[in-house]
Structure formats: C-alpha cells, structure tokens
Amino acid sequence: MEIRYKPEELTRLPRSVRYEPGRVTMIDQTLLPREFREIELRTVDEVAEAIITMKVRGAPAIGAAAAFGLALYADTSNARTKEEFMDGFERAYERLKNTRPTAVNLFWALNRVKSLVEEHLEDPLDEIKRLIVAEAQKIANEDVEANLRMGHYGAEVLPEGNVLTHCNAGSLATVQLGTVGAVLRVMHRDGTLKLLWVDETRPVLQGARLSAWEYHYDGIPLKLISDNMAGFVMQQGKVDAIIVGADRIVANGDFANKIGTYTLAVLAKEHGIPFFTVAPLSTIDMSLKSGKEIPIEERKPEEVLTCGGCKIAPDVDVYNPAFDVTPHKYLTGIITDQGVVWPPFERNLKKLFKRE
C-alpha cells in the first residue's frame, strides 16, 4: 500500500485536540454546526468534563484528550517531591479513566502514559514530567499517521460508488482526518466516492451535526438522511458499501459502535452490501472474547426527550444506550492501520497482533 496524500491534502480542518504547555485546546463539538469554537482547558477536571459532556468525542480523540490531560497535570503540578507528584498523577489518571466506559482508546492511552512513568520512577521529577508530555504528543501524532494509513488501505478495498456512514468517525472523532473520514477523503481525492449518505444518528445527531458539517466543509458530495430511511435507500440500490467506526473491537471481531450500527449491519446483509468497520489497533481489545463482554454506556434520558434544547416528548421512562454491539458475522472486513483483516476474524486478528 502506497501513501499518496499528506493530511493537509485531504482536509482543511485543524486538529480536533492539541496540547501546548499549560493548556489543552479542542474544538467544542457540542456547538457544531451552529458555531465553530475552540476552547482552552487548563485543569484535569476541565478535560474530564469535556470528555463526559462530549465536547470531545470519538474513541481516538478521547484517548488523545485523556493523554493530554495527564500532560496538563505534569506541566501544572506544584508537587515538591516525586511522591507528592505521583499521588496527584494517580488522582488525575483515575479522574480521566472514569469518564466514559466503552471507548477502549481512553484506557489504552492512559495506561500507555502510566506504564512509561512506572518505567522511569527512578528518573528525576523534571524528566518524568517531560516524558509524560512527550508521550501524549506522540500518541496524538501517531493517531494522524494511523488514520492516513487506514484511509489508503480502505480506499483500496471499498467499491467505487455510493457509501453510507453512521455517526461521526471523521476528523472530529480523531486527532485529524478520521478513521472512516480518512477512507472517505482518500476516495474523494481519487474520484471513487460518488456520493456519501450520512445517517443523522439519533439521539445526539452526530451524523447531522458533525459528519455532514465536516464532510461538506471539505467538499465531499453528500446527502443527509434520517436513520429510519437507510433501509429504503439500500432497497433502492443507492448504496454500494457501508463504512462505520468502532469504539471497541474484541478478539472474535464483534464490535461496539454508536447505537444504530447493528441495525445497519443487518440491513446490509439482507441487501448484499459490503459492511466495513475502520479502527486503529488501539481500538482492538484482545482481552475480551466476544461482544457480550463489552460494557455499554447508558446516557441521560434528556438526550432522547429533547432535541436542540427543545422538549420533544413527555416525561416518560427512557432507555438510552450510547452504543450497540454488532456480531462479527455481519462484517465484511476490519480496516486497521496495519492492513485489512478478513474473516475468520478471531484467527486473523490473533495473527495481526502476533505480527505486531
């Protein structure tokens, strides 16, 4: 696989989250599409709240933001001793770890920084702080590089034509480019993406608010549909492939993604449409054997009872799982930053990690 494009050739968007000494800067995604605004966060608590309230969202972006939260602690800590610093580091780690339970990149990024610190406990305190900041920056840079590879791998295997996507796995969901977003951007640049169908993605409308906004911003031809129109669009023969992101993929290929993904997978199988998920290796959790073991976040009922701040339903009981689990039998392939994994997924994912 040849990398043909640079990130700046594929998108005009800045990085969704970045770090400078003493502050984490991110695009506030709760304000889109009405307003584009970058916010500056100067405490670990502010970073944690931004993750919980989905100012930053998408598994890879959450992972980078959490790592930057630890970098922020390292840069702003007033600890005088290494013991005092490590006590504060553990509190920051726990605060960030307990923000969102489903996105495995969150734990992967935090544990990567923590493991590095534990390896260097005998180093001077200033060196430990420097290593934390450098590792967080490395995680963010690697995410962009991984997305670029996934974009080119995916563009090689998706058929030319019309593609449908769900939720937002674009540039806003990662540090830059996106997982799905990178594939779509490379296809668009190659001229093989004719039309992008975007599900609005109830209840928080990430497809309508975020995907439609960012892909339109980058000039990708698209049509926005409500979630319950997807089956009819497939029945009409207007979809050639479906591509979605993932918040956690497990050892047998089952994966958790935004609620509504499972419905699309079943519809795709009925209509004979290729169905792919795209995610870096950091999203794959080989410690879990099947999707039944994935913890599913349940969010506030207000997300279902309101829309855009307006009440749309009476005060009734609400079930609001943020994610669903798609069994691997519905998957055509898993596009990763190390290549495309085909069935049988359990065997081939194991091979991929042995190779790594």
Annotated binding site for substrate: 57-59, 100, 206, 257-258
- Residue 307 near residue 245, CB atoms below 8 Å: no
Determine contact, residues 252/345, Cβ cutoff 8 Å: yes
52-89 CB burial, b ≥16 within 10 A, e <16: eebbbbbbbbbbbbbbbbbbbbbbebebeeeeebbebb
254 contacts: CB under 8 Å, gap ≥ 6: 290, 291, 292, 294, 325, 326, 327, 328
Give the distance, in angstroms, between the CA of residue 9 and the centroid of all CA atoms in the same chain: 21
d(CA 262, CA 267) in angstroms, rounded, equals 9
Q: Which helix (H) or strand (E) holds 307?
A: strand 306-307
Report which residue type is found at 281.
L
| Distance, CA of 279 to CA of 247 (rounded, Å) | 8
3-class SS string, 129-159: HHHHHHHHHHHHHHHHHHHHHHHHHHHHHCC
Tokens of 331: 């998957």
Length in residues, the chain: 356
Q: What residues are paired with 321 via a beta bridge?
A: 298
Q: Which of 247, 254, 285, 324 is catalytic?
A: 247
Tokens of 239: 């979809």
Give catalytic status of residue 324 as yes or no.
Answer: no
Longest dimension (CA), the chain: 67
DSSP string, 312-343: -S-S-----BSEEEE-GGG-SEEEETTEEE-S
Selection from 260, 193, 190, 188 nearest residue 230 by Cα: 260
Give the residue numbers annotated as catalytic, written as ranges.
247
